[in-house]
Amino acid sequence: MSLDLLEQSLGQLACDIPGATRTFHHYNLDFCCGGQKSLREAALGKGLNPLLIADALRTLQAAGELGHDWRDEPQALLIGHILERYHARHREQLPELIRLARRVEQVHGARPNCPNGLADHLQDMYQELEGHMLKEEQVLFPMLQQGLGERASAPIQVLRYEHDQHGEALETMLTLTDQITPPANACNTWRALYRGLVEFRDDLMQHIHLENNVLFVNAMKPAR
């Protein structure tokens, strides 16, 4: 039965079930910023059948796919992974995505399905994300690495709020791009842009998930 999954949070399910995030992407369910919502609540909020999604998750569980569970890894290892896999990667992704978006808008801006305004939106996202990552690199991560997690409540609260803002920015990006769906006659540059946007969206959501649902949660646990 899949009923027992319905009241679990999306963040918990994303941690517990390898491959769950692919299912959440398929149904456009926010497991990072909205990770505290139950599967039932999140699905109904999107007009989806929660039992259908729970059955898909149960199938993943039965398949026994192996995934990396970061919850029991040393904190320093997780922080290193976030820095290398996500902070460095976002700094590579966004300048190129902005360049491609400006090119598409310059060449195809007169077309009704052109994502006009996307380049400026990505530029704003880049500035906001860069400031956010610097807060983590210069304030939160050093605190955690020095064993000062009990003092981290205030910065974590700020960073969670900024994660919510990043989630809203992703929603705007999806709206501008018709859910990152290129038109049938899109040129190669347009298609390359949208492939990059899918990768960026997936990376940013996984980045926020690991922080909200693993790093921040573990940091706030009482010391043993």
What are 85-103's pLDDT values in tens digits? Answer: 999 999 999 999 999 999 9
Is residue 149 packed enough to be buried (19+ CB in 10 Å), middle (13-18) or exposed (0-12)?
buried
Summarize pLDDT for 98-153 with one digit per residue, the tens.
999 999 999 999 999 999 999 999 999 999 999 999 999 999 999 999 988 888 99
How far apart (Å, rounded) are the C-alpha atoms in residues 135 and 222? 23
Q: Can you give the pTM of this predicted structure? A: 0.87
How far apart (Å, rounded) are the C-alpha atoms in residues 122 and 119? 5
Domain spans, the chain: 10-63, 75-220
**Tokens at residue 27, please?**
């149904």
CA nearest to 94, candidates 187, 6, 217, 204: 204
The length of the chain in residues reads 224
Angle at 167 between CA 43 and CA 136, to 5 degrees: 130
